[in-house]
């Protein structure tokens, strides 16, 4: 029941509505395609407002968690996606879509999941910030290594990366320094909801017709998405418990090593490539959506069990 109730959360309804509208009302794709770039900039800028003032001015203390975030997101998860795609996917457009996903930083939903699991905010922020700053270097390098001869103008990747990662970072620091964030805060969720709808509606509408002709490549993409979310989460948890790591540390590694920013990958795919390239991002987004809701359910279950044990312990002490 708790899992079903969680599906009716506002962000979940927006995502599901975007999928339904993208499939049934795909005529709005040209409008969404024109709006997807500014929508992604707005999402990233508003999310980065949660990082406190001066957060990026002292890189020294952030180094350890930043390395952890980059290792789990790029070295582990990214390499798995690329290697699996090289050997298993035949169609070039789908393979390019998988390379884009591998190059992406982690999902921004990690911030909310980190708060729910009571991981220290500084640890979540530093891991996420490190991975996003790492993306400024890693996305162009992956593009140079795998996509140089596919993109007519390779420099477009660098321009898009600067626009979608560096620009939101600069804008968010400007907003905080000018203290405009207090005026934006009451409307943050509404603005992000509208932007998320635009992003995932556009990605879904772009792949609607391709879904009608389900191929073996799409099945493989779905299999890779399942393994890189649910199976990776299972393995990370097992390894963490084997080495007797605390639950917060295991969860931190799990979040960074299982979730990619699929909206960002799909947006870049539509801006630089084609509808077929964006389809991989949509499949990953669906599995990430299911995985996030499963994690929320499990985390609430763990928290409730922990609170019940504390109450019983307190009762025993009083008796």
Where are the chain's structural domains? 27-304
Tell me what pLDDT residue 158 has. Answer: 80
CA distances from 43 to 143, 156, 236 (A): 24, 21, 29
pLDDT at res. 319 = 54
Contact predicate 295/270, CB 8 Å? no
pLDDT value of position 69: 82
CA 35 from centre of chain: 20
Burial class (CB in 10 A: 0-12, 13-18, 19+), 52: exposed
Taking alpha carbons only, the member of 109, 106, 9, 102 closest to residue 50 is 109
Report how far apart, in Å, the C-alpha atoms of 112 and of each of 11, 144, 297 are.
11, 33, 13
If 0-12 CB within 10 Å is exposed, 13-18 middle and 19+ buried, where does residue 132 land? buried
CA dist 51 → 119, 290, 319 (Å):
15, 27, 45
- A 10 A CB-CB count for 58 gives 8
- pLDDT score of 221: 95
- Across-strand partners of 106? 260
Question: Exposed, middle or buried, 208 (CB in 10 Å: 0-12/13-18/19+)?
Answer: middle
Res 121: pLDDT: 59
Please report which residue ranges of the chain form alpha helices under DSSP H. Answer: 2-6, 10-24, 29-48, 63-70, 79-88, 92-103, 110-116, 121-142, 155-161, 167-177, 181-184, 188-211, 216-226, 232-242, 247-256, 262-272, 275-318
Give the model's pLDDT for residue 196. 94
∠ CA 281-119-100, rounded to 5°: 15
Q: Which residue stretches of the chain have pLDDT < 70? A: 1-8, 54-65, 115-123, 148-149, 151-154, 301-319
CATH number for 27-304 (one of 3.40.50.620, 3.30.1360.120, 1.20.1530.20, 1.10.1740.110): it is 1.20.1530.20
Count other Cβ atoms within 10 Å, centred on residue 189. 12
120: left (phi over 0), alpha (psi -120 to 50) or beta: beta
* Residue 62, SS3 per DSSP: helix
CA angle 2, 233, 221 (to 5 degrees): 100
What are the CA-CA distances from residue 116 to residues 109, 304, 311 (Å)?
A: 11, 12, 20
pLDDT at 96: 92
């Amino acid at each position: 029941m708790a899992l079903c109730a969680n599906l009716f959360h506002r962000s979940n309804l927006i995502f599901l509505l975007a999928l339904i509208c993208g499939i049934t009302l795909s005529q709005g794709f040209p409008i969404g395609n024109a709006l997807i770039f500014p929508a992604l900039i707005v999402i990233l800028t508003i999310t980065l407002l949660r990082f406190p003032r001066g957060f990026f001015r002292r890189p020294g203390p952030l180094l350890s968690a930043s390395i952890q975030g980059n290792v789990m997101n790029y070295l582990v998860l990214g390499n798995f996606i690329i290697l699996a795609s090289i050997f298993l996917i035949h169609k070039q457009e789908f393979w390019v879509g998988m390379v884009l996903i591998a190059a992406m930083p982690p999902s921004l939903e990690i911030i909310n999941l980190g708060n729910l699991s009571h991981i220290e905010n500084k640890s979540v922020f530093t891991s996420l910030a490190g991975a996003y700053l790492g993306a400024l270097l890693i996305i162009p390098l992956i593009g140079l290594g795998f996509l140089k001869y596919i993109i007519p103008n390779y420099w477009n990747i660098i321009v898009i990366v600067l626009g979608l990662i560096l620009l939101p970072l600069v804008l968010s620091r400007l907003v905080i320094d000018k203290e405009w964030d207090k005026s934006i805060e009451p409307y943050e969720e509404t603005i992000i909801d509208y932007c998320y709808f635009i992003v995932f509606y556009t990605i879904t509408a772009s792949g609607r017709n391709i879904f009608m002709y389900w191929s073996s490549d799409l099945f493989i993409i779905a299999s890779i998405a399942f393994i890189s979310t649910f199976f990776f989460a299972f393995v990370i948890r097992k390894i963490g418990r084997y080495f007797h790591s605390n639950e917060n540390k295991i969860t931190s590694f799990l979040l960074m090593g299982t979730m990619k920013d699929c909206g960002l990958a799909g947006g870049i795919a539509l801006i630089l490539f084609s509808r077929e390239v964006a389809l991989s991002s949509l499949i990953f987004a669906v599995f990430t959506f299911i995985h996030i809701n499963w994690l929320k359910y499990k985390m609430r279950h763990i928290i409730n069990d922990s609170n019940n044990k504390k109450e019983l312990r307190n009762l025993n002490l009083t008796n």
